[in-house]
Amino acid sequence: MRYISKFIKDDLNRKMVFIGGPRQVGKTTLAQRLLADQETNGRYFNWDLDEDRQDILAKRWSENDQLLIFDEIHKFPHWKNWLKGIFDVYKEQHSILVTGSARLDVYRRGGDSLLGRYHYWRLHPFTMDELPADMTREESFKRLMTIGGFPEPFLSGNEREARRWRRDRLDRVIREDIRDLESIRNIQSLSLLVDLLRSRVGGTIVVSNLAADLQVSPNTVKAWLEVLEKMYLIFIVKPYTRSLPRAIQKPPKIYFFDNGDIIGNDGARFENLVATSLIKRLHFKEDYEGYRYELRYIRDKEGREVDFIILRDNIPEELIEVKYGDDSLSRPLLYYTKRLQPVKSTQIVANLTREYSKNDIQIMNPLTYFVNPPWET
């Protein structure tokens, strides 16, 4: 079972549960396994199947079905009002789980008719802190670096099949999900933008430069970046500037949810892998604890840069510097540790053989750092 399963089970006792996240991250599989684990009866409905769609509209299910799962129901034009009525009438009789593509997250924000009736959980790919029990951590790390953490390619371990899977996934997200949701006509240029971003992970993204490369307006590129983020293809890490008068105001950095999307050296792939592991943890904490978490980076006009800073309700909680091979203490990390005095400062080094601490900073390898995820504490 995936890392959020037990928390979803608990929430289903009180409210509806929505599961969102990237396409093909395993949302449907998770829902069906939850149903299989139920001691009582349940029913899975997929809006894309004609028979299930007819049963949904007719409200045809057994009164003994304790768990009702509705997959892709956000494709039903009036799905929110329909779910509101079902929950209000049947909440004492049925638990309700709703899954769907990344569009579910977008559509649920379009109104508040379901406010207070559901909890939302985001499911992420496998990362360094969620690994199969039958796979060594070393083999898992290798696959995460080369193949990425999406379940199908990660578990198969076949790089050739992973490339084919990734090509199909990107094509479906861009040509189906985005086209269905947004009025974007220039899909070819949007695809070119994704290709450009894949080779610029970890570096700052200047919108005007991308616009010049694509021969479109900066506002168009900005809008496209927002769409790609909505679709869980990328996530944007903005600079942290509060209490730092010489910190740069912009531009942001871009990372991909699929580590296999990265085109570049091992250093870029490793930084993206750490970023995906961190954002997964922060999304879990937001969904479970209710605090507001942010992942940002720091860079000032003197060129001092720290890869990540974790904020909880705008308060610095941890500084994190990422290195692939250099195990010497980062001077910018030391500088900002003294300046901001976070609860914790860490330097994560991919090829570190001997861990140590210095000036209240822990220098660790990634497998040690990510060994105790928040969902296991």
Tell me, yes or no, whether 165 and 62 share the same domain: no
Mean per-residue pLDDT, 132-153: 94
Contact 28, 99 (CB under 8 A): yes
DSSP 8-state symbol, 301: T
pLDDT of residue 188: 86
Number of domains making up the chain? 2
Residue with tokens 């296999």: 260
Tell me, yes or no, whether 335 and 293 share the same domain: yes
Q: Structure tokens of 237?
A: 């890490």
pLDDT of residue 130: 94
pLDDT surpasses 80 at 17: yes
Tell me, yes or no, whether 78 and 162 share the same domain: no
pLDDT of residue 21: 93
pLDDT of residue 355: 95
Identity of the amino acid at 345: S
What lies within 8 Å, CB to CB, of 26 at 6+ separation is: 2, 123, 150, 151
Mean per-residue pLDDT, 212-224: 93
Mean per-residue pLDDT, 137-147: 95
Cα→Cα distances 142→58, 146, 254, 367, 370, Å = 49, 6, 23, 12, 15
Residue with tokens 């941890």: 318
User: What is the tens place of the pLDDT at every residue in 39-62?
Assistant: 668 999 999 999 999 999 999 999
* Segments forming the whole domain that contains residue 158: 137-376
CB-neighbour burial class of residue 232 (10 A; exposed 0-12, middle 13-18, buried 19+): buried
Confidence of residue 207 (pLDDT cuts 50, 70, 90): very high
Structural domain contains residue 247:
yes
Give the end of a domain, one of 67, 87, 122. 122
The percent of residues in the chain predicted with pLDDT above 70, rounded, is: 94
User: What is the tens place of the pLDDT at every residue in 111-131?
Assistant: 667 888 999 999 999 999 999
Tell me, yes or no, whether 11 and 42 share the same domain: yes
Kindly calculate the radius of gyration of the chain based on its CA atoms and give it in whole angstroms: 22
**321/127 Cα distance (integer angstroms):** 18
DSSP 8-state symbol, 147: T
Strand partners, 357: 362
Tell me, yes or no, whether 293 and 190 share the same domain: yes
Angle at 195 between CA 261 and CA 158, to 5 degrees: 30
The percent of residues in the chain predicted with pLDDT above 90, rounded, is: 79
User: What is the tens place of the pLDDT at every residue in 67-76?
Assistant: 999 999 988 9
- Lowest mean pLDDT: which of 33-37, 220-224, 287-291, 365-369? 33-37
DSSP 8-state symbol, 24: T
Residue 367: alpha-carbon gap to chain centroid: 20
Give the helix/strand (H/E) hosting 17: strand 16-20
Confidence of residue 38 (pLDDT cuts 50, 70, 90): low
Tell me, yes or no, whether 106 and 24 share the same domain: yes
Give the end of a domain, one of 98, 122, 146. 122
Q: Structure tokens of 99?
A: 């899954």
- Residue 21 gets the label, from left (phi > 0), alpha (psi -120 to 50) or beta, of left
User: What is the tens place of the pLDDT at every residue in 236-281?
Assistant: 999 998 867 666 667 999 999 999 999 989 999 999 999 999 999 9
DSSP 193-242: HHHHHHT-TTSB--HHHHHHHHTS-HHHHHHHHHHHHHTTSEEEEEEP-T
The model carries a pTM of 0.93
Q: Which of 220, 211, 296 has its CA nearest to residue 252?
A: 296
Tell me, yes or no, whether 302 and 246 share the same domain: yes
Tell me, yes or no, whether 59 and 118 share the same domain: yes
